[in-house]
Structure 1
Amino acid sequence: MTPGNPIRHVEIPVTDLDRAVDFYAALFGHDFERVEVDGYPMALFPTHEGHPGASAALVMGDIYRPTRDGAVVYHHVPDIQRALAVATDRGAAILFPVKDLGDLGCVAEIEDSEGNRLALHQPAPAAMKEPI
């Protein structure tokens, strides 16, 4: 097996794709590509070949149910306080306040516009300067 990151793609369930795209676009500044796969509307997060991380999509459909229970997806943010301010301005609840993890940076968790638990991670300043 070729070494690499084991996670290739993450699908985040939503009940209102437009609302979710608006929320995530405001929070992260991403543009989303809209597609449909097997009858399920999706909004794809941008991907950059050759860079770390998995692809992801917001997905709406009968088998996709937002939840606070289950897997927690961590999103990189350069400024966690700013991200929390944007999220709460858009109605998000803070589920886990900012916790400093020293050399690992800091994390917080919120509930997104759809009811999913969403984690935010800001690397430590030294880690932000070094290539990954």
Structure 2
Amino acid sequence: MAANPVFHFEIPVTDMDRAVAFYQAVFGVRLSRRVVDGHDMAFFPRADGQPGASGALAKGDVYVPSKTGAILYFDVADIDAVLARATARGAAVLYAKKAVPGAGYVAEIEDSEGNRIALNQID
């Protein structure tokens, strides 16, 4: 198995425009929209040959937002700034910023669609 075995993730959404606006504002990235197999999707930037997984927001009958199940961790340079942008856009903080000795900081928020996602800042 590869050192970083996760290849791709999809985050369920019910309102693609709202979700795209949320993720672009909170993480400062541009998502690219397209329809894949009949599903509206918005893809996060991806750099070939670089570590990390690709991912997308996904809307369709099989995509149901949830605070239960797998939790995706987003690496961020400044967790406080990301938390501020997220809460300014209506996100609830589900797990307040906490120091992880020797590793940095983590926090969890509820996105615009009702999903639990996590933030990770490495020292």
- Tell me if TM exceeds 0.5: yes
Aligned length: 123
Structure 1 residue 100: Cα displacement? 0.2
What TM-score results when the alignment is normalised by the length of structure 1? 0.90
Name 2:26's counterpart in structure 1: 27
Q: How far apart are the structure 1 equivalents of 2:117 and 2:3?
A: 24
Letter in 1 for 2:89: R
Q: How far apart are the structure 1 equivalents of 2:102 and 2:22?
A: 29
Residue 94 (1) aligns with residue 93 (2): yes
What TM-score results when the alignment is normalised by the length of structure 2? 0.97
3-state SS of 1:64 partner: coil
Structure 1 residue 102: Cα displacement? 2.0
Out of 57-66 and 46-55, give the one that drifted further. 46-55
Structure 1 stretches of 4+ moved >2 Å: none
Q: Any residues of structure 2 matched to 1:1-80 within 5 Å, and which?
A: 3-80=2-79
Q: How far apart are the structure 2 equivalents of 1:12 and 1:106?
A: 23
Name 1:128's counterpart in structure 2: none
Structure 1 residue 4: Cα displacement? 3.7
Structure 1 residue 35: Cα displacement? 1.1
Higher helix share: 1
3-state SS of 2:85 partner: helix
**Runs of 5+ consecutive residues of structure 1 not aligned to the other structure:** 125-132
Structure 1 residue 103: Cα displacement? 1.6
Q: How far apart are the structure 2 equivalents of 1:4 and 1:45?
A: 21
Query: How big is each residue's C-alpha offset from its partner over 1:19-54, in whole Å with a ceiling of 9 and x where there is no partner?
Result: 000000001111111111110010000001122110
Q: How far apart are the structure 1 equivalents of 2:94 and 2:34?
A: 31
Q: How far apart are the structure 1 equivalents of 2:55 and 2:89?
A: 22
Name 1:114's counterpart in structure 2: 113
Q: Which protein is bigger by CA-based radius of gyration?
A: 1
Work out the percentage of aligned pairs sharing the same amino acid.
56
Q: How far apart are the structure 2 equivalents of 1:47 and 1:33?
A: 11
Letter in 2 for 1:18: D
